Amino acid sequence: MKISTLHDLYIEELRDIYDAENQLVKALPQVSKAANNEELKNSIEEHLEQTKEHVNRLEKIFQNVGESPKGKKCAAMQGLLQEAKELLEEDIEPEVLDAGIIAAAQRVEHYEIAVYGTLVTYAKLLGNEEDADQLEQTLDEEKETDETLTDLAESSINVEASEEEEEGEEKGSRGRKGAAAK
Ligand code: FE
Ligand code: FE
């Protein structure tokens, strides 16, 4: 498709995030299954339900503008999810894995926040207030999810992961002492 106008670019960006959201709907169940912390699991599952709604909202927007939502692959989301998948395949302590899942999930949210921020601006510039409201609602949910993940990281999960490190270090130092005593 030739992109001549801001409207064309708007449609292209909408298609990109539509594909990204659909990739997430497929990937999130796997991520929540891998998470160990119950709160983290729950917040991922909650965001999966929100993500399905993000897909619905986008479909309504495409209906309103009379365009097809299909036709673009979001390479960025593919890459972010590929990295998350690699993390899940690592030999990794459960607490540390949870910290890594939060890091991966926040990368995803920040990407989405950037895209939806742009889309809200374009919708307003194009005089489409109804779309702008819908997109802003999704933007707010992505931001809330990002904040929830930050809270989880700060309150417990990263702390548990850092304690994991201390235990590891203690074991290591005991080992070294043992070796020195010989
Ligand atoms: Fe989303
Ligand atoms: Fe999201």
Confidence tier at 173 by pLDDT (50, 70, 90): very low
Confidence tier at 167 by pLDDT (50, 70, 90): low
Cα of 62 vs centre of ligand 2, distance in Å, is 19
Cα of 124 vs centre of ligand 2, distance in Å, is 22
Cα of 113 vs centre of ligand 1, distance in Å, is 9
User: What is the full DSSP assignment across the chain?
Assistant: ----SHHHHHHHHHHHHHHHHHHHHHHHHHHHHH--SHHHHHHHHHHHHHHHHHHHHHHHHHHHHT--S-S---HHHHHHHHHHHHHHHS---HHHHHHHHHHHHHHHHHHHHHHHHHHHHHHHHTT-HHHHHHHHHHHHHHHHHHHHHHHHIIIIIHHHHHHHHHHHHHHHHHHHHHHHH-
Query: pTM for the complete prediction?
Result: 0.87
Q: Is pLDDT above 90 for 164?
A: no
Considering every ligand atom shown, identify the ligand nearest to the alpha carbon of residue 80 and give its number. 2
Cα of 25 vs centre of ligand 1, distance in Å, is 9
Position 176 scores a pLDDT of: 39
Cα of 182 vs centre of ligand 2, distance in Å, is 55
Position 162 scores a pLDDT of: 83
* Domains recognised in the chain with CATH numbers: 6-181 (1.20.1260.10)
Cα of 111 vs centre of ligand 2, distance in Å, is 9
